[in-house]
Amino acid sequence: MATNYTYTDAMAQHFVQCQLCPQNSQFYCKPCEVRLCEGCVGIHLQKKSPEAHQFIHYHKLWKNRKLMSEPEVVSIVTCPYTNMLDIARWGGSKFYVCSTLSRHIHKFDFRKSEGVDNSLAPGWPRRLATFGEDIIFTERNENDVKILTKNGEFKTLFSTADWSARGIGCTASGHIMLGLQKLKTGKVAIFDKAGKVLKEIVHDKQGKALYSNPYYVIENKNGDFCATDIVLSAVVVVDSDGGFKFTYTGNPSVDGRFDPHGIAADSLSNLVIADWITRQLHLIDENGHFLRYFDFFPNKFMSESPTGLCIDSQDLLFVCGYDSDKVKVMKYLH
């Protein structure tokens, strides 16, 4: 589909990578459209005369963005299966998806609307996240975290012992974020790549359990940890220290059940939430206030429930669904 949108080598929503090395981006050269860490600014300056460059802090790049009156569909990609569970953005114009119907993790190019590659996983992948140049994932009925390297190799990173690994994400510091469940108890934990627990979030300050089954998890641009919980029918957001911020249980002005699945954060720290029941996407701000709905599939006589979501560093929203073989790429900020 034709569009005048400018694409750069965007990585995942959780980890915006320097385009010259694997470090986090801190600066952006506007004339060259290149993301850079502090250490690579000097290297980039050598490519042209200093007067040809203009650097700004990366987080200021999108601060003036606003909601479009209606989202624009940038691309629709047909996948080889339905029942898709999750989606993860990768370098260039690539993304990965997984489904309950296949052990393969498929890679696609949304600019060309075609498949690129697929890799047969050891088990049945159910959640994906970009981790630098690799993909980390959890599997159905497995209590561990695995990685698909950029070279196509599968490895087990670490075990989660007797906790079932649900949602997975990557933090801006390069650590692994997991939603974990055991019996009727849930928690969100931060691990390093070797499996060392760096932080666990279980209760609020009053000792009340925050989670039951944290199904999808992400970190937003503010460093908040955000999880959808399908047992609580809620989105639970805590700050980087684990302090409770808010719970979102749907738009109170609309009747019906709220059944949150996938979740993604944009450059403004707004959250997009996939609602399985209404087949809509909820958009809320960083404080949990409802902003608007996006209809994932406007024809209410057909069933197409959204599941996995991700947003890249250009604020393009990627949506996969359970009852459809289509991945939709949408633009809703300008």
Q: What is the DSSP string of 108-153?
A: EETTTTEEEEEEE-SS-EEEEEEETTEEEEEETT--EEEEE-TTS-
pLDDT of 3 > 60? The answer is no
For CA atoms 111, 112, 117, 118, the dihedral sign is positive
pLDDT of residue 60: 65
Convert the pLDDT of each residue in 283-324 to its tens digit. 999 999 999 998 766 555 455 789 999 999 889 999 999 988
- Name the amino acid, one letter, at 70: E
How sure is the predictor about 12, in pLDDT bands with cuts at 50, 70 and 90? very low
- Name the amino acid, one letter, at 75: S
Convert the pLDDT of each residue in 41-56 to its tens digit. 988 988 777 777 888 8
How sure is the predictor about 14, in pLDDT bands with cuts at 50, 70 and 90? very low
How sure is the predictor about 19, in pLDDT bands with cuts at 50, 70 and 90? confident
pLDDT of residue 11: 36
CA distance 228 to 247: 10
pLDDT of 5 > 70? The answer is no
For the residues 11-37, what does the mean pLDDT come to?
72
pLDDT of residue 175: 95
pLDDT of 259 > 80? The answer is yes
Contact 220, 236 (CB under 8 A): no
CA distance 9 to 35: 9
pLDDT of residue 288: 95
- Indicate the burial class of 42 (C-beta count within 10 angstroms; 0-12, 13-18, 19 or more): exposed
Convert the pLDDT of each residue in 199-245 to its tens digit. 999 999 999 999 999 999 999 988 999 999 999 999 999 999 999 99
